[in-house]
Structure 1
Amino acid sequence: MTKKKVAVVMGGYSDEYKVSLKSGQLIYDELSRELYDVFKIYILKEGWFFIDKDENRIPVNKADFSVKLPSGEELKFDACFNIIHGTPGENGILQAYWDAVGMKYTGCNFYQSALTFNKKDTLAVLAKYGIPSAKSVYLRKGDAIDEEQIIAELGLPVFVKPNQSGSSLGISKVKEVSELQKAIEIAFQEDDEILIESFLKGTEVSVGVIDYHGETIVLGITEIVSKNEFFDYDAKYNGASEEITPARLDEETKLKIEVIAKKAYESLGMSGFSRSEYIIMDGTPYMLEMNTNPGFSPASILPQQAKIYGISIQDLCGNEVEKALAK
């Protein structure tokens, strides 16, 4: 049996690329060498590169996503394992390119990626399926901003966040009207569209959902106890939060979240890894966002959940590759 050639594609153009390189390394290390020949591809602002055994960078031919090796041999892949967080791997750009050049890849397709990367549009679609979210005000760069009206509508505190950005970059919690303008400026540095959301006081949970052997399963529910004001970049990646898996929830609430998380995944036509964030307030889970390429470094939530669920990282990643190859 000829082994399939799998490229683990990592990096990206946003500040999340460092996290993606860690996620990609874990997947690269864990994929079965009995089943696959595994290669590393970096997609970075400065270029697209194949990384050889000596960490040399060889450019990728964007015409067909192949690599010309120094030996003169042409390296072509059977599938790409997409583990880029943020743009271009989590917002549909890379998926649309791969579709155009006829490359198979893991995870959801370009439409689901583009949709879920847009918080406003995701929540609007899911509202039609009865999935609740916080009240919010949407602003584009250049819009007139009536601070008094925003606060009258949403109350205080509020969260100000970029509409399209990952890893909690550019998010602020605003407790006083005087802080709003600064928070808006910070969010606009990450994106031309922002959301201002009402504050939901409750328990924050992160829910891993995947399609595994043809079935949508909830991998686990993790309770997030942030030492900071909220689950920001520092809390996510620098240890300023406690992540408790499984979350400390009663059976009824746990079932309610599992039902909503599965419904959200299936309603959006998702595939591959996903992690959605909810705040549970008075027993009701309110959705914050859906991540289609969540962190997958050893410290990340999804691998922790898989371990507790009893699925090895190798099986979890192998399942993704097999689905991509069968497309």
Structure 2
Amino acid sequence: MADLDRVLVLAGGMSPEHEVSVRSGRRVAESLRRLDIEVQVADVDATLLARLADDPPQVVFPVLHGASGEDGAIREILELSGVPYVGAVPSACRVAFAKPTAKALVARNGVAVPRGVTLPKAAFHDLGAPALLERIGGALGFPLFIKPDQGGSAFGATAVDSAEELSAALVGCFAYGDAALIEERVRGTEITVGVLDLGDGPFALPPVEIVPDGGVYDYAARYTAGRTEFFSPARLPADIVDAATSAALTAHEVLGLRDFSRADLIVDGQGDVRFLEVQVAPGMTETSTFPLGVDAADLDFAVVCRELAHQALLRG
């Protein structure tokens, strides 16, 4: 069996999630070093291709969030460079990164999702924003949740309680993308479920319950210590846990993901689980939910990172 000695962690990138990616990459690197693995950390810049050609690592561990990190582009580069890497292949990343597409595929496979529509910025210009806003409110009702059709870390995402708030929320959304996913806002318990595959097939980690102190799990609530209370495992009945883990596994498998992923879900007042979105490169910071799920499963985070890198080496 091949020995794992040298890993390159990619962290940073050019998306608004740069700082989160840096923190995630630092934690992965420190965890691998604790197991006596040589680790280098690099950003995605003009030196990357030369680095991969002149001093290729055994394995690349991408911990890049947002565009290029999760849309498949960097993984295409790694494929072209012939370097083994952790995580999903480019085609699966592209599908999962497009939230409306992922949502439709998961719904087609029996998982409940919120009602919603996806509209480009141009539609509001070409068709007239007031009339279109009125049509959206009439069809979906309120409250709503607005977010870019791509990206993460809650950038451009806004909860909307009335028609008067809708226009400003869309302006904020379009600052981070060219199309908006507009959904009914389902009130209930927010949870995430990590999926992990260490070589014997994917399995779900215990759900993590999210209770932000301001009621909305925005960027500050995600990455500021003390702003959100996490319960890991989530305080849910066994049947709801089973439904949530089943939904996360369905998303992972239907979207063709590999090694690990994280599904964001909500449990409504009737106990029904609804799928919101999936992350192919979940956060690995001290306040991120994927590592909390690893801990709740009584797994060592450093060992998990090593095993993911090792199986990527064996694939290569």
Q: Same fold (TM over 0.5)?
A: yes
Residue 308 of structure 1 deviates from its aligned partner by 2.0
Residue 3 of structure 1 deviates from its aligned partner by 5.3
The alignment partner of 1:220 has SS state of coil
Summarize the Cα distance change of 1:321–1:177 in structure 2 as closer, same or farther, 3 Å threshold.
same
Name 2:244's counterpart in structure 1: 257
Name 1:82's counterpart in structure 2: 62
Relative contact order higher in (CA < 8 Å, ≥ 6 apart): 2
CA distance in 1, matches of 2:302, 2:116: 40
Is there any run of 5+ residues in structure 2 with no aligned partner, and where? none
Residue 252 of structure 1 deviates from its aligned partner by 1.1
Name 1:8's counterpart in structure 2: 9
The structure in which a higher percent of residues are strand is 1
The alignment partner of 2:12 has SS state of strand
Residue 98 of structure 1 deviates from its aligned partner by 1.2
Is there any run of 5+ residues in structure 1 with no aligned partner, and where? 49-58, 67-73
Say if 2:219 is the partner of 1:218: no
The alignment partner of 1:150 has SS state of helix
Whether contact under 8 Å (1:16, 1:85) holds in the other structure is yes
Name 2:73's counterpart in structure 1: 93
Residue 198 of structure 1 deviates from its aligned partner by 0.5
Out of 297, 318, 325, the position equivalent to 2:285 is: 297
Task: Normalising by structure 2, report the TM-score.
Answer: 0.92
Superposed counterparts of 1:104-115, under 5 Å: 104-115=84-95
Name 1:19's counterpart in structure 2: 20
Name 1:288's counterpart in structure 2: 276
CA distance in 1, matches of 2:103, 2:163: 26
Q: 1:99-141, CA deviations, whole angstroms, 9 ceiling, x for partnerless residues?
A: 1221211000111111111110000111110111111111112
Say if 2:167 is the partner of 1:181: yes
Whether contact under 8 Å (1:207, 1:275) holds in the other structure is yes
The alignment partner of 2:202 has SS state of strand
Name 1:132's counterpart in structure 2: 112
Q: Which amino acid aligns with 1:268?
A: L
Whether contact under 8 Å (1:116, 1:122) holds in the other structure is yes
Residue 207 of structure 1 deviates from its aligned partner by 0.7
CA distance in 1, matches of 2:3, 2:227: 46
The alignment partner of 1:179 has SS state of helix
Q: 1:167-224, CA deviations, whole angstroms, 9 ceiling, x for partnerless residues?
A: 0000111112111111111101100111110111111111111112322111120111
Superposed counterparts of 1:236-255, under 5 Å: 236-238=222-224, 239-255=226-242
Superposed counterparts of 1:14-163, under 5 Å: 14-31=15-32, 36-43=37-44, 47-48=45-46, 59-60=47-48, 62=49, 65-66=52-53, 74-143=54-123, 144=127, 145=129, 146-163=132-149
Whether contact under 8 Å (1:79, 1:104) holds in the other structure is yes
CA distance in 1, matches of 2:266, 2:32: 34
What is the number of equivalent residue pairs in this alignment? 306
Moved more, 1-10 or 85-94: 1-10
Whether contact under 8 Å (1:277, 1:290) holds in the other structure is yes
Q: Which amino acid aligns with 1:271?
A: R
Q: 1:37-62, CA deviations, whole angstroms, 9 ceiling, x for partnerless residues?
A: 3211122xxx35xxxxxxxxxx33x2
